[in-house]
Chains A and B, each alone.
Chain A
Amino acid sequence: MNPHDDNELRELLKPSIAPMNDTELHRDLWPQMLQRLRQQHSIRVPWFDWALAAVAAATVILFPGVIPALLYHL
């Protein structure tokens, strides 16, 4: 790429898309980060997985006969 052409395009772009002058972070993001960490920890196991585990446990308790079949398929 010709550096002259590159500069020419740069000059064309800059009035429309100015460089970011304000790159200062105006607030501490740690509280937001903590909230994100807590949310992720609390939803680590989705409810559907719990429901599935409950159904599987109930099936094994109510129909112990399925245990050998389950073990065979594992």
Chain B
Amino acid sequence: MDLLERFAAGDLEAFEVLFRQHQQHVYAWIVRIVRDSGTAEDLTVETFWRIYRSRARFDPKASFGAWAYRIATNAALDHLRKSRRETELPLDLAADPRPDPAVQRETRYRIRKAFAKLPAKYRLVATLALIEDEPHNRIADAAGISVSLVKVRLFRAVRMLRKQLSSLGVQGAKT
């Protein structure tokens, strides 16, 4: 019986081997989505807990890594849904053309806030595609959706961000 078959049968030692083989990759993927090392560690454990719990459904002929990425993406998405900030952005802030560091800081703050306000599924795609430069097909595989849907979500995320940033007077965010 090979490692994946032993894992699917509930062998804890096989699970430990797989955990040690994949924990780094899973963590690296999650931390790029949630952008906090402590949260990413917790979500890595949560991911492997979900993996262990659903081991009976795993097909030992399939790729463990691809399955782990998909579960990790779902765990990260659940976290984004829970932690999404609901606070409204101040709408009375006008654009200021002066290259003042305080103004730049304020602009960055507004951009981060606007990004954090994106619905979780759009934020996930936008983070991976726009910030982390991940190819669309990789995002699609990890999120368990088609490449076309990744493009649609990215398009909508960009439109929401532009609208939000433009209303806040952030320069360069033309709609």
Write the residues of chain A forming the contact surface with B, with a CB cutoff of 8 angstroms.
1, 5-6, 8-20, 22-30, 32-33, 36-37, 40
The docked-state distance in angstroms from the alpha carbon of A6 to that of B173 is: 11
What is the minimal beta-carbon distance from B174 to any residue of chain A, in angstroms?
Answer: 8
Pick from B45, B108, B132, B165: contact of A29, CB under 8 Å: B45
Write out the residue numbers on chain A whose beta carbons fall within 8 Å of the beta carbon of B112.
16-17
CB distance from A66 to the nearest CB of B (A): 37
B28 within 8 A of A: yes
Q: Which of B73-81, B82-90, B91-99, B155-163 contacts A (4 or more CB under 8 A)?
A: B155-163
8 closest Cβ contacts across the A-B interface? A23-B28, A16-B111, A16-B108, A25-B27, A1-B155, A20-B32, A12-B172, A25-B24
Closest to A32 in B: B45
B120 CB → nearest A CB, Å: 16
Q: A25-B24, A29-B44, A33-B19 are in contact. Are A17 and B111 (CB under 8 A)?
A: yes
Q: Which of B123-175 contact A (CB under 8 A)?
A: 127, 130-133, 151, 154-155, 158, 161-162, 165, 170, 172-173
Give CA–CA (A40, B52) in the complex, Å: 11
User: Which single member of A9, A18, A27 contacts B162 (CB below 8 Å)?
Assistant: A9
What is the interface of chain B, defined by CB distance below 8 A to chain A? 12, 16, 19-20, 23-24, 27-28, 31-32, 35, 37, 41, 44-45, 48-49, 52, 107-109, 111-112, 115, 127, 130-133, 151, 154-155, 158, 161-162, 165, 170, 172-173
A19 adjacent to B158 (CB under 8 Å): no
In the complex, are the beta carbons of B41 and A29 less than 8 A apart? yes
Q: Are B23 and A25 in contact (CB under 8 A)?
A: yes
A6-B158, A33-B49 in contact; A20/B111 too (CB < 8 A)?
no
Given known pairs A13-B115, A16-B108, A23-B32, the reply for A30 and B130 (CB within 8 Å) is no
On whether the beta carbons of A8 and B172 are closer than 8 Å, the reply is yes
Q: Tell me the bound Cα distance from A22 to B130 in angstroms.
A: 18
Q: How far is the CA of A46 from the CA of B49 in the complex (A)?
A: 19
What residues of B have a CB within 8 angstroms of the CB of A28 in the complex? 20, 23
Q: How far is the CA of A46 from the CA of B27 in the complex (A)?
A: 31
